[in-house]
Amino acid sequence: MMNVAVVGTGYVGLVAGACFAELGHRVTCVDNDPKKLEVLRGGGIPIYEPGLEEMVPRNVQAGRLTFTSDLAAAVQGSDVIFIAVGTPPGGDGSADLRAVTAVAEEIAGALNGYKVIVMKSTVPIGTGDRVKAIITSLSKEEFSVVSNPEFLREGVAVDDFMRPDRIVVGASEERAVDVMRKLYRPLTREGAKLMVMDIRSSEMTKYASNAMLATRISFVNEVSRLCDVVGADIENVRRGMGADTRIGEEFLRAGVGFGGSCFPKDVRALLQSAREYNVELGVVDAVFRANELQKQRMVDVIQGDFGESLAGRRFAMWGLAFKARTDDMREAPSITIARGLIAAGAEVVAYDPEAHETAHAVLGDTIQYAADAYAAVEGADALVLVTDWAAFTSPDWERVWALMREPNLYDGRNLWEPRELTAMGFRYRGIGRR
């Protein structure tokens, strides 16, 4: 068992803290938000992430997981301190490191012996060196700085942490590597691969990984647009591509574009880092631009069918969160689609199993929020699928038909079978589907 402090109880920090406690370590999570701490101490979860609602209370009850606002006490009682605060994009796309810098300064003031300080937040290349310089200037105590980027997918983050593809550790001192090996031993003992490298390579690995996944998504979305024109079916093309072992099937599903807290932010930050070093990343730049076009494309297709003005039209929207199994609305394609339809004069009625509250914080009362999926489609001229929740896979199509004013379906995730629906009389439009 090790004593671990995790500074920041956002998405990354809470998942990491809960999972380290589940692995048997004693974890103290630190946050400066009293309301969030009150929720967590009471066994509640401030975010929606499957698995956390059982894991957090279980480990709190077992005494392995505690929550506090006292950063100094947490640092002094820990062997390893994770920095997991937010690094939101600034106006130029670069990561805002003010929270990271402030936490590093506080850690420096609290050190009481050798500690391993781990960057878990997604940060630009060179941040590890910056954190080391800050702490060195403020403390005489021994410490090591380590980069340990997260590769968690929202909706399955707990599984990703407990059964990782790889654990990347960037460190320059063997002493720190030994601590990280001990920390992750419960996972490596089960076969998880721990990869040790220098800090800057570790920082770059995070950005490069997300940029590559974003590239695959934008690539298949661009191909889907060509499929629309030439009469090909992107689902057939995707299957044919994915059968090549050099390519594989992952992240080759056409849709309404990617969103969330990682891909858009990390692509922007990587581009900004490249600009700072006078390096042109033409492919990565194209990925970002292609994704913005893809988010708008659904609105363009709808206006192509209905006309530029959508006044008097009612659109049902199934799904608001950027992906299923989360309530995260950051950079969600639903925002672009809803605002585009509203700007053209349409009325939008949406349903999402989890994201109504987070969506309202972004879209307010510009859209209506239905109590269930069928209430959303009542009287609708079209149904637009935005998020591929499992509950939307096989709805009662006869009921949907009876409730809608016009039987128009816009499948933004290629979730449904076109032949089945057109045989029923629906007018179906997918993403690059015949």
> Per-residue pLDDT tens for 48-86?
999 999 999 999 999 999 999 999 999 999 999 999 999
Quote the CA–CA distance of 87 and 97 in Å, as a whole number.
6
With respect to residue 421, please indicate whether it lies within any of the assigned structural domains: yes
Q: Alpha helix locations (H) across 277-346? A: 282-306, 333-343
pLDDT at 92: 81
Which tokens hold the place of 428?
């179906």
pLDDT at 94: 84
Q: Using the 3D structure, point to which of 176, 197, 218 is the last residue of a domain.
A: 197
pLDDT at 291: 96
Quote the CA–CA distance of 356 and 321 in Å, as a whole number.
9
Give 185-207 pLDDT, tens digit per residue: 999 999 999 999 999 999 999 99
pLDDT at 225: 96
Give 223-238 pLDDT, tens digit per residue: 999 999 999 999 999 9
Whether 18 shows a pLDDT value over 90: the answer reads yes
Work out the average pLDDT over 11-18: 96
Whether 428 shows a pLDDT value over 90: the answer reads yes
Residue with tokens 């859209």: 367
Whether 95 shows a pLDDT value over 90: the answer reads no
**Number of domains the chain contains:** 2
Whether 408 shows a pLDDT value over 90: the answer reads yes
Lowest mean pLDDT among 32-36, 180-184, 319-323: 32-36
Q: Using the 3D structure, point to which of 147, 170, 197 is the last residue of a domain.
A: 197
pLDDT at 91: 79
- Residue 299: give its domain's CATH number: 3.40.50.720
pLDDT band for 324, please (50, 70, 90 cuts).
Answer: very high
From residue 95, alpha-carbon distances to 33, 271, 335 in Å are 22, 11, 22
pLDDT at 79: 97
pLDDT at 109: 97
Work out the average pLDDT over 336-365: 98
261 & 349 share domain = yes
157 & 241 share domain = no
With respect to residue 319, please indicate whether it lies within any of the assigned structural domains: yes
pLDDT band for 42, please (50, 70, 90 cuts).
Answer: confident
278 & 342 share domain = yes
413 & 284 share domain = yes
Work out the average pLDDT over 364-370: 98
Residues 6+ away with beta carbon under 8 Å from 239: 249
Four-CA torsion 280, 281, 286, 292, nearest 10 degrees = -100
Residue with tokens 């990703």: 160
Quote the CA–CA distance of 147 and 83 in Å, as a whole number.
10
Work out the average pLDDT over 273-293: 95
264 & 409 share domain = yes
127 & 19 share domain = yes
Give 100-157 pLDDT, tens digit per residue: 999 999 999 999 999 999 999 999 999 999 999 999 999 999 999 999 999 999 999 9
With respect to residue 188, please indicate whether it lies within any of the assigned structural domains: yes
82 & 192 share domain = yes
pLDDT at 332: 97
Whether 416 shows a pLDDT value over 90: the answer reads yes
What range does the domain containing 252 cover? 232-429
Work out the average pLDDT over 203-213: 96
Q: Using the 3D structure, point to which of 145, 172, 197 is the last residue of a domain.
A: 197
Active site residues: 262
Whether 300 shows a pLDDT value over 90: the answer reads yes
154 & 278 share domain = no
Quote the CA–CA distance of 82 and 118 in Å, as a whole number.
5
Reference 338, options 305, 306, 360, 307; nearest CA is 360
Work out the average pLDDT over 207-214: 96
With respect to residue 395, please indicate whether it lies within any of the assigned structural domains: yes
